[in-house]
Structure 1
């Protein structure tokens, strides 16, 4: 089987998923072509980087600028898309697997017109809600449901992917026109929560399958960490409360962390990972801040050192940080937000209502002081999300629809 995958990046969380699927597919004898745009993170990657690079760095900047000015996201990049489709034609795929298509690196009407004309079986993994809104990838924070019948007067049009003025009404109609009517397309979501939203959107004509995101259990596992606990916890006398995100904001609950740092007693040490200088300026002095790290083995050590992992997120498709913590034997407390509660079960964590600071504080103290959960149960829960098994689910889907 010949498979094409297209994503907005070859790195980061969605990039790892794309490349992980490709690795497993090739190991099973399939041929795979991956394609991603040239960005600041892969600008210097050579031709042997393992994927087809869409467009040029400067053309991407021009296309992004045009989208910002006009509000027509995905309506430019004609030359880059023409060359990509020519490359796909030469490859002659049995399956096209789409991932993130937003932020102007590809011409959406050209791409979907090609898929419809060629009658190619298609899988589209939705990593957020952008595919069925006029613009935004998330809308739970603003409690917006206009996406169900047609976007307009968007309260977030200046947010990612930002535009100068609100063009969401026209873009919602255009995206509905482009994205519907594909002969053989299956939508994949990482959570049941997102799947239910898809079934309420204009994409409801397609079958929807839930394939959770997976993790590498060879990296994320209980790891010796007494040295970290001694440094953070004062010779192991403090409970370590860990928060991890790869971009802190009110959406991820930074303000909740600040409030908890004021309410928890000095028996608790809060550790925040994924911060930067801007985040540090907002945190209280009693919080330990660890700036962003790409070292996953160090991250596994940090997870293992914690007594509890807390996730005060207000917008979440699934919650990979929850699973990473569980894999390292650390129980989780999370807000009831998006797909985040789906990561845990009754033996590995507690779900509290969104924005319930008192509830989160109580859950943290109960987990730490009453030792409600066993490390082994947390690790067992994480095994459900083993990465290779999740990638194999995609291969099974390809073989079913291809």
Structure 2
């Protein structure tokens, strides 16, 4: 059995880390596997970077002005296909194929022609919409019947021109013609959304994302607090995002910083330089970090995670934080409640109701050590990367057996 994964990044970001975990798991099993990726180290043994400066920037231009995300990057995609011809994999496992690095019609034409088994993990909603990776903030459900007049043009992948009708029809035609397409939803919520899309009759499975429990576990709570000069009586509310914007709840933190008692302090990881300069004194901003150990130390040193995002297909940040022993407060939207509810790991609130959020923070800010350990154990048992990889491996095996028959 040979496996090739394809993802926008090699090891950074949540999808890159997931691809890496699967790669290591398969290596330990002695199974040949490779990763084709857009962004990451130029040369990585056994893997292929298809990044090209000029085609990436041209693809970005086509996407931003003509709504052509996934329709550029011909040369990099030919390079990926050449690699696939040489490896001749039994299964191609797709992750995020948008991001200005790959031409999906060309790739799917090759995969269909060669009758290759395809597993596709949906990490967002882009595969079944005319453009949008997320749509819940705008309450747009046009994707159920056919996208047009997009109300979400300014969000990723943003575009000046509305090409959503064309994109929707193209995706529907290409993806439905794939005979060996197996789709993975990473939450119950996303599973339900896919079942309402044009892909509803495809093979759809649910496999939760996994976190590395050898890295995300309760660290020394006092060490990080002492290093950053916090008092023992301070209640530290943490927010983590790769990009902070309105949809991720940036404004919620600003509002809360003015209404909670003085011993409530705020930490926001992932802010940019401009946001860092504009934060009030009681919010400590930290630039985005890829240092997992540092992030786990921050999680462990805080008292409660606040994840105001209303657009999550799983919620890796929530799972990571709870695995480190702090309870979480999440929005009652999309997949956000799943980690919390299934592990009894915090509270689910209406993020538009400031009083409800404040009451939750006042309650969970004083969670005792015994309960923190209990929620950490629950999350580590249900959402570990080992559990995730074993589930993917079982799927690989069943698909390989089905193919051989």
TM-score, length of structure 1 as denominator length? 0.94
- 1:293-326: CA deviations, max 9, x gaps? 2221121111111121111112111111111111
Unaligned runs of 5+ in 1: none
| Local SS of the residue matching 1:344 | helix
Are 2:204 and 1:203 aligned? no
1:368 corresponding residue in structure 2: 365
1:230 Cα deviation (Å)?
4.0
Structure 2: how far apart are the matches of 1:222 and 1:331?
Answer: 12
Mean Cα displacement is larger for which, 247-256 or 274-283?
274-283
1:253 Cα deviation (Å)?
0.5
1:210-229, aligned counterparts within 5 Å?
210-229=206-225
Cα 1:362–1:373 shift into 2, 3 Å:
farther
1:242 Cα deviation (Å)?
1.4
2:25 corresponding residue in structure 1: 24
8 Å contact 1:176–1:202 — kept in the other structure?
yes
8 Å contact 2:300–2:324 — kept in the other structure?
yes
| Local SS of the residue matching 1:97 | strand
Are 2:378 and 1:377 aligned? no
Are 2:140 and 1:114 aligned? no
1:217 Cα deviation (Å)?
1.0
1:389 corresponding residue in structure 2: 387
Cα 1:250–1:241 shift into 2, 3 Å:
same
2:347 corresponding residue in structure 1: 350
Cα 1:234–1:36 shift into 2, 3 Å:
closer
8 Å contact 2:183–2:203 — kept in the other structure?
yes
| Local SS of the residue matching 1:8 | strand
1:48 Cα deviation (Å)?
3.3
1:187 corresponding residue in structure 2: 183
Structure 1: how far apart are the matches of 2:86 and 2:114?
Answer: 13
Are 2:6 and 1:6 aligned? yes
| Local SS of the residue matching 1:188 | strand
8 Å contact 2:66–2:162 — kept in the other structure?
no
- 1:234-289: CA deviations, max 9, x gaps? 53012111111121111111111111111101121122222222223443222222
Cα 1:370–1:59 shift into 2, 3 Å:
closer
Structure 2: how far apart are the matches of 1:357 and 1:233?
Answer: 28
1:245 corresponding residue in structure 2: 241
TM-score, length of structure 2 as denominator length? 0.93
Cα 1:235–1:354 shift into 2, 3 Å:
closer
8 Å contact 2:42–2:49 — kept in the other structure?
no
Are 2:88 and 1:66 aligned? no
**Equivalent residue pairs, number:** 397
Structure 2: how far apart are the matches of 1:330 and 1:378?
Answer: 8
Cα 1:351–1:373 shift into 2, 3 Å:
farther
Structure 2: how far apart are the matches of 1:176 and 1:347?
Answer: 39
Cα 1:141–1:307 shift into 2, 3 Å:
same
| Local SS of the residue matching 2:178 | coil
- 1:193-212: CA deviations, max 9, x gaps? 01100000011121211111
8 Å contact 2:339–2:345 — kept in the other structure?
no
Are 2:318 and 1:319 aligned? no
2:403 corresponding residue in structure 1: none
| Local SS of the residue matching 2:9 | coil
8 Å contact 1:367–1:373 — kept in the other structure?
no
1:102-181, aligned counterparts within 5 Å?
102-181=98-177
Cα 1:278–1:314 shift into 2, 3 Å:
farther
1:329-348, aligned counterparts within 5 Å?
329-345=325-341, 347-348=344-345
- 1:351-378: CA deviations, max 9, x gaps? 1124222111101111224649702211
1:95 Cα deviation (Å)?
0.5
Mean Cα displacement is larger for which, 343-352 or 22-31?
343-352
8 Å contact 1:7–1:101 — kept in the other structure?
yes
Structure 1: how far apart are the matches of 2:259 and 2:225?
Answer: 21
Structure 2: how far apart are the matches of 1:67 and 1:245?
Answer: 24
Structure 2: how far apart are the matches of 1:360 and 1:67?
Answer: 37
Mean Cα displacement is larger for which, 196-205 or 278-287?
278-287
Unaligned runs of 5+ in 2: 401-405
